[in-house]
Amino acid sequence: MKVADIVRVLEALVPAYLAEEWDNVGLLVGDRQRRVTKLMACMDVTEGVLAEAVKAGVQMILAHHPVIFKPAARVTAEDAPVVHEAICRGVAIYAAHTNLDNAVGGTNDVLADVLGLSDRSAIVPVVRREQCKVAVFVPPDDASRVGEAAFDAGAGQIGNYRECAFLAHGIGSFCGQPGTHPAVGGAGRHEVVEELKLEVVCPRSKVPAVCEAIRGAHSYEQAAIDVYPLEDFPPGCGGGRIGRLRRPATVRSIIAKLKKATGSPSVRLAAPAGAGKPDGRGRLVRNVAVFCGSGGSCWRAAAAQGAALYVTGEMGYHDALDAVECGLTVLCLGHGYSERIGIRALAGHVAGVMAKLKVVESSRDRDPYAAV
């Protein structure tokens, strides 16, 4: 199989449109036509991880954190050693970062599964802005021809349905100025005609081609076309998850579950005064929110939705202080420990779909912090 084949599977599982606007996800290094027999999963592509991959005969790495995050002015052995070495060795690198965190079944859902949260929803829903709606006013006899032209140019796809459109009747009026050649009537005459409003959706990238196709199929000298940017909220997708435990549980028991599932050797606990003696571990909670990685800034949204416990990777001092003052108990697993189970689960999905692909996990990928 090729890199492109694996990319197609990954983009079906964790589409790029689920990533935050500031993120950089997808195939960051490599040739889509390169053959792949072995894929390695990791959190971060370090020099050690790349050396391990080369030694193990890996042709592609699936990483959580992007190896190229900020724009790179140079790709040299001195300025970007890991990227440069990966290119030289022919190792492709794919990053599934916030799109994995936000996806249904992604990192946040994996964390929620550890605790058995039910009735869950995203704390911060993803807003998708990749689609537009194109509307055009056509005479009834043009509707079929113009619609087909729009579909052929890439419009009208909604999920697994194609050639989707909406038609509404109306009355259009116009008056052509001197030099025009209207399809109905003549220049300088006010005309009132029956028209249909044809609406189709299409990706932003295809809007120019769709508009050009509509103009080419339209009988009017000047087609009236409107383009509206759309916002969509993919169901179940977004940052964090909030839900309910089957029955109230102590913070102590939740800590034990999370440490076992994530491998975190220790957690940081911040609890309101009097929230169970002596340090909050005995507090009973039922409404729990999880937010992998750096979720410290979203605790207010979780608290507003009724969370009593907020589990995240890391949180700043002042955010933790404010959260506790508002009555919220906070658990910080460590950034990497809160996310590693997500990339591991994604690698497992890829292995399940692509039986001929050998998928391994890096043994040199580890958290930079140690509990001492």
Token pair for 262: 């994530």
Instruction: Decide: 47 and 13 in contact? Cβ < 8 Å.
Output: no
Is residue 277 pLDDT above 80, yes or no? no
Give all domains of the chain, ordered by start, each with its CATH number. Answer: 3-97+339-361 (3.40.1390.30), 107-126+237-333 (3.40.1390.30), 131-229 (3.30.70.120)
How many whole angstroms separate alpha carbon 139 and alpha carbon 158? 25
Buried b (16+ CB within 10 A) or exposed e, 100-123: bbbbebbbbbbbbbbbebeebebb
How confident is the model at residue 276, as a pLDDT?
60
Instruction: Please give the residue that has the higher pLDDT: either 330 or 279.
Output: 330
Q: What is the mean pLDDT of residues 190-196?
A: 91
Q: What is the mean pLDDT of residues 288-308?
A: 96
How confident is the model at residue 190, as a pLDDT?
87
How confident is the model at residue 161, as a pLDDT?
94
Q: Inter-axis angle of helices 81-89 and 47-55, to 10 degrees?
A: 10
Percent of the chain whose pLDDT exceeds 90: 86
How many whole angstroms separate alpha carbon 268 and alpha carbon 344? 23
For the chain, what is the mean pLDDT? 94
Is residue 115 pLDDT above 70, yes or no? yes
- N- to C-terminal Cα separation, the chain: 45
Is residue 279 pLDDT above 90, yes or no? no
